[in-house]
Amino acid sequence: MSDLCPFLIPRGFRFGAAKAGVKASGRADFALIVADEPASAAAAFTSNKVTAAPLHIDKEHLTATGGKVRVVAINAGNANCAAGQAGLDAARATCAAAAQTFHCRPEEVFPSSTGVIGVPLPAEKLIVALPGLAQTIGPESDHFNEAALAIMTTDTVEKTAFARIEVAGAPGEAPREVRIAGLGKGSGMIYPQLVPHATMLVYILTDAAVEPAVLNAYLQPAVELSFNRISVDGDTSTNDTVLLLASGASGVSIGAGNPAFATALQQVCSSLARQVVADGEGLTHLVELQINGAANDADALRVAKAIAHSPLVKTAWAGCDPNWGRLAAAIGYSGAQIDPEAFEIRFGDLPVCSNGGCDPEFDEAAAHAYLEQAQFSVTINLHQGTGSCVFWTTDLTTEYIHINADYST
């Protein structure tokens, strides 16, 4: 039984999970999110050109319905990617069965998959599980948590986040509450690069009434400053998806430009993004990169990504080795505008590099001790302008290699 407060769960949604037999482990591997009425939807998907079958179906369905979703059907243990026409057929069959079960159009079903690439999805297992699963779904917090657990693959913990805001009512009326909740999964193959601009899947729900186009305008900047600011290993998955649904069950309408709603959504996205990277496969250190003084924000992001994707930097972090020269090299090849004699590096508050060389106050022993912490920050000032970004990443350990060497077997 979940200890989540039921008042955190957005109204208008039901949840459930089942053991469909897709995962070899025999654990729960099929989750549903069901809206009582068609919910407004906005989504962001991977930029990988090798894209899983369900994402093709999702885009078709969102276009066909004008951005409405009744059922989200998520399976773990199989990515349904690189399976050709059979993969598309499996996704469509799952949608058709879910539509029949919940009395909606197949186009109102949003399928998602995560797991091994290149293996046909046994859709018949999901279809057989649907009737029983439909009998057990509910709006309670324990059902929400069961869904969060069922979508995990190499994750070690479920990932959830919540926010609430109060919206002023008419004169003389009490403020009304809007809830936002998110669940997600992701541990490896994490470098999401989501656009309209293993795998990370995120589902964010609100009981506000929001039109699909307005919902999309809220989602995209929230994604850019959260999920597009994390990386575990630099691999962009074929299945990365962020879906935002609005049920309208609170009776509160949210229009464009509501700062309280935007802030709450950003908080939920940022929390989930950090939880994903904090559960990175085999990690021993969670690292926050703070890049300041770049010529522009894009350059700041270039530097952050160069550092976050450097095996030399990440293995140094794994060994708590304050080898700042590897950071300097990554800054130099990042493609950002730099002056080799102007940038600074700090580990937390400890000076490491200044004017392109070793800082006179650099204390190697103190730096090593600082990097032994489970979480630490690296701050870089390029002294080129006002551009900045914050980015979260991990070290690279032998355990990561073991997990991914054995993943499909």
Query: For residues 321 and 171, what is the distance between their CA atoms, to the nearest angstrom?
Result: 61
The closest alpha carbon to 11, from 246, 191, 253, 187, belongs to: 246
Q: Which of 51, 199, 236, 393 is catalytic?
A: 199
Report the number of secondary-structure helices (H) and strands (E) in the chain.
Answer: 11, 16
Measure the N-to-C terminal CA separation of the chain; round to a whole number of Å: 32
Helix ranges restricted to H, 112-192: 123-136, 141-150
Query: For residues 355 and 341, what is the distance between their CA atoms, to the nearest angstrom?
Result: 5
Rg (CA), the chain: 22
CA angle 407, 408, 409 (to 5 degrees): 95
The closest alpha carbon to 76, from 154, 168, 189, belongs to: 154
Phi, psi values for residue 33, rounded to 5°:
-120, 120
Active site includes 154? no
Per residue, the 3-state secondary structure of 62-82, as one string, reads HHHHCCEEEEEEEEEEECCCC
Write out the two tokens for 408.
């499909």
Give 175: exposed, middle or buried? Use CB within 10 Å, 0-12, 13-18, 19+: exposed
Q: Which residues are catalytic?
A: 199
